[in-house]
Structure 1
Amino acid sequence: MSSSPSTDESGALLGPADIRELAAALGVRPTKQRGQNFVIDANTVRRIVRTAEVRPDDVVVEVGPGLGSLTLALLEAADRVTAVEIDDVLAAALPATIAARMPARADRFELVHSDAMRVTELPGPPPTALVANLPYNVAVPVLLHMLERFPSIERTLVMVQSEVADRLAARPGNKVYGVPSVKANWYAEVKRAGAIGRNVFWPAPNVDSGLVSLVRRSKPIETSATREEVFAVVDAAFAQRRKTLRAALAGWAGSAPAAEAALLAAGISPQARGESLTVEEFVAIAEHKQ
């Protein structure tokens, strides 16, 4: 299947009236608790699929499919789609929506009814792409969990709150550079991939949204330290971001002098702050803990 759908398929996507009708039939009201905002614009979901560069041979995993707006657009373009949905009512309804609106592709769809943070395996072939309108309240932990758990995911495009998009894509020295920036960069090359207006959602959120593209590193960062060891340094460095690394890493290293020794051995000034360091420099610190 090509990513530009033929005319007879274009009516398969959900519009604003379809979304409201489906929600009413299911008795669904989007909840803030789960960060639910349903996309009601077919052009927007097509744009997401296009920006994600979904290919005809892709196995796509989607987190938080909701009523299925993006799911249907992904099914038009990918080989297979697996959707992970925590909500009981939405999870129960989605397969029927797919079967009704895209019957020819329904056998290429799988639903996993679970909390994405607890998913450790997926049915079918390993996923090659992650494309999702992530629930805003859990976007970063879900993204990092999926990247860690499924190394076969080569390309990711997620829609998140605009500020979170900025944080994920921030570079060292940027005032919003922090834990999400470094951890995402451990796995992938990260960049902002566009903005999404509020009026394409129901209900319209009171925040702007952004797209973030993550392309997995072709070679993982070479290090004798484990990912957990590196991430422990990152967490400590940003826990008190105003402090110098000598002070911020004192707890992690056992004392301020021990932190200073690790920093000097890694070639990093003890007076530096976490926001100035690259992921590779955090790796070097982890490797030199005594």
Structure 2
Amino acid sequence: MSAPAPRLLGPADVRALAAELDLRPTKRLGQNFVHDANTVRRIVRLAGVGPDDVVLEVGPGLGSLTLPLLEVAAGVVAVEIDPVLAGRLPATATERAPGRELRVVTADALRLAPGDLPLAPDVLVANLPYNVAVPVVLHLLAVLPGLRRGLVMVQAEVAERLAARPGEKAYGAPSVKLAWYADARRAGPVPRAVFWPVPGVDSGLVAFTRHDEELAGDVERREVFAVVDAAFAQRRKSLRAALAGWAGSAPDAEAVLRAAGVDPGARGESLGVTAFTAIARAAGRRSVERSTPTGELDHR
């Protein structure tokens, strides 16, 4: 016999749990709890979670999203930084979604390592605190190569940045860095009214699917990200000027850019992740050439 459908949390349930825990949501931890059943079911549906998936949920809070995830996934690993919330979540799952596989880890997602997780997740589904959404997503993709896809709810402005394409107004360093790992897209808005307390900003959904292959096995991620950070630190300047400090001088930056096949007069906002990778690769080759005696190069 299959387990009964979980009893999801409504507005009264969320407030009752908060009162039980003497919980006062804080802006510091980005605690805005979803209390609308249609919204959480929509998130699970858009994430495409199925019976073969192990889901990583970051910031489960009171369990509003955890419960519908437990209904369809093989298992859920919930990472919660607040020990009070982490301590209550297993009981909520037992009461409202009995017989499902839930593991709760009390930890900071920004410091998470693979060994901290009792199950190996392949999908990330989360309502992320606005102030740490970008670093959390990038950190998890970096340390969990088995994470193949995800759907995250973030501030609408952050959603635009993560999913932006070259040339778009919102395009910036977060857009390029996420593109290093995955293809991202906007997956719809989320109204303020579904949260308690009601936030002062709009929210949006971002879906991503990891690339099947690494973009560049011969270039390290940190080298590419260093180029990206330098380019967008002065985004209104040409790459020749913006990368001068990173390359050593404006002429050095121009030489690297030309070697990479990139116009030195272009701006970082016009380049995709492949072009930034080419710049980092060209800089690496230029460094090797400068440090290697001419005679040695002749014999390669």
Q: TM-score, normalised by structure 1?
A: 0.95
Query: Which of 59, 63, 82 is the equivalent residue of 1:64?
Result: 59
Q: Is the 8 A contact 1:223 1:283 kept in 2?
A: no
**Of residues 82, 90, 114 in structure 1, which corresponds to 2:107?**
114
Deviation at 1:101, TM superposition (A): 1.2
1:92 and 2:87 aligned: yes
- For structure 1, which segment, 72-81 or 120-129, has the greater mean C-alpha deviation from structure 2 after superposition? 120-129
Query: What one-letter code is carried by the residue in structure 1 that aligns with 2:111?
Result: R
The amino acid across from 1:128 in the alignment is: D
SS at match of 1:160: strand
Q: Percent identity?
A: 64
Cα shift at 1:123: 2.9
Residues 167, 178 of structure 1: 8 Å contact kept:
yes
Q: Which residue, 42, 46, 49 being the options, matches 2:44?
A: 49
Deviation at 1:211, TM superposition (A): 0.3
Equivalent-residue separation in structure 1 for 2:202 and 2:216 (angstroms): 37
Distance in 2 between the 1:232 and 1:58 partners?
34
Counterpart-to-counterpart distance in 2, 1:247 and 1:167:
24
| Amino acid of the structure 2 residue aligned with 1:98 | A
Unpaired stretches in structure 2, ≥5 consecutive residues: 287-300
Q: Report what 1:199 is aligned to.
A: 193
**Aligned amino acid, residue 207 of structure 2:** S
Give the stretch that moved more between structures: 222-231 or 78-87.
222-231
Deviation at 1:258, TM superposition (A): 0.8
What is the CA RMSD across the aligned residues, in angstroms? 1.4
CA displacement 1:243-289 (0-9 Å, x = unmatched): 11011111111111111000000011111000000000000000011
Cα distance, 1:222 vs structure 2: 2.5
Query: 1:178 and 1:279 mapped to 2: Cα distance?
Result: 11
SS of residue paired to 1:183: helix
What letter matches 2:195 in structure 1? F
Q: Unpaired segments of 5 or more residues in structure 1?
A: none
Runs of 4+ in structure 1 over 4 Å off: none
Q: Deviations over 1:66-98 (max 9, x none)?
A: 000001110001000001000121111111111
Letter in 2 for 1:99: T
Task: From 248, 251, 266, give the equivalent of 1:272.
Answer: 266
Count matched residues.
283
- Which residue number in structure 2 is paired with residue 281 of structure 1? 275
1:80 aligns with one of 51, 56, 75: 75
Q: Are 1:147 and 2:136 counterparts?
A: no
- The residue aligned with 1:24 is 19
- Which position in structure 1 is the counterpart of 2:180? 186
State how far apart, in whole Å, the 1-side matches of 2:169 and 2:98 are: 48
What CA distance in whole angstroms lies between the structure 2 residues aligned with 1:125 and 1:143? Answer: 18
* Equivalent residue in structure 2 for 1:211, among 195, 205, 219: 205
- Larger Rg over CA atoms: 2
Q: Structure 2 counterpart of 1:82, which letter?
A: V
Q: Could you tell me the TM-score, scaled by structure 2's length?
A: 0.92
- Equivalence for 1:9: 5
